[in-house]
Amino acid sequence: MDKKEEKKNHDVIDDDLYEELDDEELYELVQEERRKALEKDRKEKEESKSKRPFPKWAFWLIAVVMAFNMVALIPRTFSIPAIDFLLTSAKLSTSEDIQTYKEAVVVIETDDSKGTGFAISRDGTILTNHHVIEGEEELTVAFSEEGLFSAEIKDTYPQVDLAVLEVNASQQFPHLTLADETNGEQHEAIQFIGNPLQFNHVANEGNIIGSTQLEDWEEEVLMIEAPVYRGNSGSPVINMEGEVIGVIFATLNHDIHGRVGLFVPIDYYYAYKT
């Protein structure tokens, strides 16, 4: 599959995708419906009813549909794993730090796909993956609070799948702080924010597994145990000190660890921009 065919399979942005997740409400709704499902299941077992119990996952599905009012997306988007990562995002997003990080994360819109990026300076310099913007001339970026802006490609580093964009606006933007280096310690806890599947500004968490060498890369990349999905490309990987230590760019079916997320250490950005 060539690059153009692959990009055609990416999720397409439309106006509905700019609706923000009401994280606290989602968390409360899902938890409440989960409690109801468990209570119903307990009662039915006690009464030894012969009829088939209403599955618990259905209550979760209903709760999420109510929260988002996005019924049309159910066949393509909602599944048990998807509900799990949305529930985690809702819980994480009650943190003021996560709410602040989200303001600097953008949706990157091209003609036929979407990806993630994040501002690294007040003037709107954005870091993302090269494959997110490859072959594009005009880009639109959407901040959660600041709105939509056009952007142009400033620099590209395809060797490490990174690209730098510049927002065409004379104002200050929320931005994230880059770490001086990526330690990449095994089991180190990380958080990341991106635009997976049909959702925007979803926060999630995971742990660093270690490094791996890809066949077509000269540099090693880091693996994380975390729910990474299509649309997370360009998501910032944030350590517990609130600093960006890398950029998510892919997933991998690892022989030992199974399905893992991959990220480019922030060190490579420093090395290639000089």
User: For residue 55, what pLDDT is reported?
Assistant: 62
The whole-number pLDDT of residue 86 equals 80
Say if residue 184 is in the same domain as residue 257. yes
In a domain, 10, yes or no: no
CB atoms within 10 A of CB 259: 12
Q: Domain check: are 110 and 141 in the same one?
A: yes
Q: Are residues 162 and 181 in the same domain?
A: no
| Cα separation, 173 vs 168, whole angstroms | 12
Shared domain for 101 and 85, answered yes or no, is: no
Pick from 167, 191, 213: which residue ends a domain? Answer: 167
Domain assignment of residue 4, yes or no? no
Please indicate, yes or no, if residue 246 is contained in any of the structural domains.
Answer: yes
Q: Is 88 in the same domain as 114?
A: no
Q: How many domains does the chain divide into?
A: 3
Query: What pTM does this model have?
Result: 0.72
Examine the domain organization and report whether 184 and 234 are in the same domain: yes
Give backbone dihedrals phi and psi of 152, rounded to 5 degrees, phi first: -125, 155
Question: Would you say residue 29 lies in a domain?
Answer: yes
Q: Is residue 172 part of a domain?
A: no
List 189's β-bridge partners, or say none: 207
CATH number for position 109: 2.40.10.10
Structure-block tokens of residue 65: 């549909």
266 shares a domain with 220:
yes
Within a domain: 2: no
Q: Does one domain contain both 258 and 199?
A: yes
Q: Which two tokens stand for residue 233?
A: 């490309």
Q: Where is the domain boundary, 92, 118, 134?
A: 92
Q: Do residue 190 and residue 263 come from a single domain?
A: yes
User: How high is the pLDDT of residue 37?
Assistant: 59
Of 141, 167, 193, which marks where a domain is finished?
A: 167
User: How many other C-beta atoms are found inside a 10 Å radius of the C-beta of residue 5?
Assistant: 8
| 183 plus 259 within the same structural domain | yes
User: 49 lies in a domain?
Assistant: yes
Tens-digit pLDDT profile for the chain (274 aa)? Answer: 444 444 433 333 333 333 344 455 455 555 565 566 566 667 766 666 555 555 655 665 555 555 554 434 444 444 455 677 788 888 999 999 999 999 999 999 887 778 999 999 999 999 999 999 998 888 999 998 889 999 999 999 999 999 999 998 889 999 999 999 998 889 999 999 999 888 899 999 999 999 999 988 999 999 999 999 889 999 999 999 999 999 999 998 888 888 899 999 999 999 998 7
Do 78 and 156 belong to one domain? no
The answer to whether residue 1 sits within a structural domain is: no
- Quote the distance between the C-alpha of residue 207 and its chain's center: 15
184 in the same domain as 268 = yes
For residue 22, the enclosing domain spans: 15-92
